[in-house]
């Protein structure tokens, strides 16, 4: 009995170590994407412009939210109107912090969707250049601009809607003592990371004729890897200007993630060498 228990424990530890290792491999993919971008100013410039435009739009929206935050905090804590002044003010402060937290979560997720829509041609090019460095895409599917735009918009709206549906319960759970300040932020980061991984891999999957359902299915089979990459992006996007500066790296890293989950090479080809499929092999 003891031997069986030891074997089970060793097996569980091995699985746990493998999951943790895959998670950090996913985290490292964002770093690899950053290295690729920094080595090529062309990739960096291509990726910064759409993110800067979206960042200015979101900065204006954040300014409006902060201006109306005291009123919104009072509105959502109507039940505390008859409480003692100290408790009422504390509740309103917590509500304001919760509103900002949800706005940040939704902002990060929708920022990616909006930036990808604005910069679709730019990020398509970044992803294509990264793919070429690692062997290209055999039998690439050519998608017209309008068809690509409609498909990308549809997928982004689905993900934004899902983000809103998840964000509201997380906002409410944030009011729970202790749990709301510990477990819920971690849960929000994990969910946000997963959604970002799904969203950022859209361009490489679309190049192969694969849709949102295909992305989810493939990423689920490599869940720790996808979560590691997505959580790393999510945390970096929380840093002021992080979403703008790291968007090109996130696109490059997502391309590597896509190649990995689709069982395609992620070893960079020597400079000047053509992919095997272009050589007719």
pLDDT band at 7 (very low <50, low <70, confident <90, very high): low
What pLDDT does 124 receive? 82
Query: How far apart, in whole angstroms, are the C-alpha atoms of residue 99 and residue 279?
Result: 56
Q: Give residue-wise pLDDT tens across range 236-270.
A: 887 877 877 888 899 999 999 999 999 998 888 77
What pLDDT does 45 receive? 78
pLDDT band at 274 (very low <50, low <70, confident <90, very high): very low
**pLDDT above 70 for 10:** no
Q: Give residue-wise pLDDT tens across range 120-142.
A: 778 888 888 888 888 888 777 77
Q: Give residue-wise pLDDT tens across range 37-82.
A: 888 877 777 788 888 888 888 889 888 888 888 888 888 788 877 7
CB-based contacts of 107-111 (< 8 A; 24+ apart in sequence): 107/58, 107/61, 107/62, 108/192, 108/196, 108/234, 108/237, 108/238, 108/243, 109/159, 109/160, 109/163, 109/192, 109/195, 109/196, 109/199, 110/160, 110/163, 111/54, 111/55, 111/58, 111/237, 111/243
Contact of 219 with 197, CB cutoff 8 Å: yes
Contact of 170 with 184, CB cutoff 8 Å: yes
Query: Percent of the chain having pLDDT more than 70?
Result: 80
Contact of 219 with 261, CB cutoff 8 Å: yes
What pLDDT does 201 receive? 92
CA 111 to chain centre: 10
Q: Give residue-wise pLDDT tens across range 105-120.
A: 777 767 877 887 787 7
CA 13 to chain centre: 29
């Amino acid at each position: 009995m003891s031997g069986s228990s030891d074997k089970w424990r060793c097996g569980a530890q091995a699985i746990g170590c493998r999951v943790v290792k895959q998670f950090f491999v996913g985290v490292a993919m964002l770093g690899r994407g950053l290295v690729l971008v920094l080595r090529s100013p062309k990739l960096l410039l291509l990726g910064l412009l759409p993110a800067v435009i979206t960042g200015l739009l979101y900065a204006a929206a954040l300014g409006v939210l902060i201006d109306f935050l005291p009123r919104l905090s009072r509105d959502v804590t109507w039940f505390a109107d008859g409480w003692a002044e100290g408790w009422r003010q504390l509740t309103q402060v917590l509500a304001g912090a919760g509103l900002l937290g949800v706005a940040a979560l939704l902002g990060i997720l929708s920022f990616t969707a909006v930036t990808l829509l604005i910069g679709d041609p730019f990020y398509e090019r970044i992803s294509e250049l990264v793919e070429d460095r690692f062997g290209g895409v055999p039998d690439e599917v050519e998608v017209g601009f309008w068809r690509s735009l409609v498909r990308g918009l549809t997928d982004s709206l689905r993900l934004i809607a899902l983000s809103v549906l998840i964000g509201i319960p997380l906002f409410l759970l944030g009011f729970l003592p202790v749990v709301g300040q510990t477990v819920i932020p971690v849960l929000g980061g994990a969910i946000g990371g997963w959604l970002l991984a799904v969203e950022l891999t859209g361009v490489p999957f679309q190049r192969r004729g694969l849709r949102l359902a295909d992305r989810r299915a493939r990423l689920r089979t490599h869940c720790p890897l996808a979560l590691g990459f997505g959580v790393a992006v999510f945390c970096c996007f929380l840093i002021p200007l992080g979403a703008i500066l790291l968007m090109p790296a996130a696109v490059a890293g997502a391309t590597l993630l896509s190649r990995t989950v689709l069982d395609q090479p992620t070893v960079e080809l020597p400079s000047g060498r053509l992919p095997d499929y272009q050589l007719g092999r």
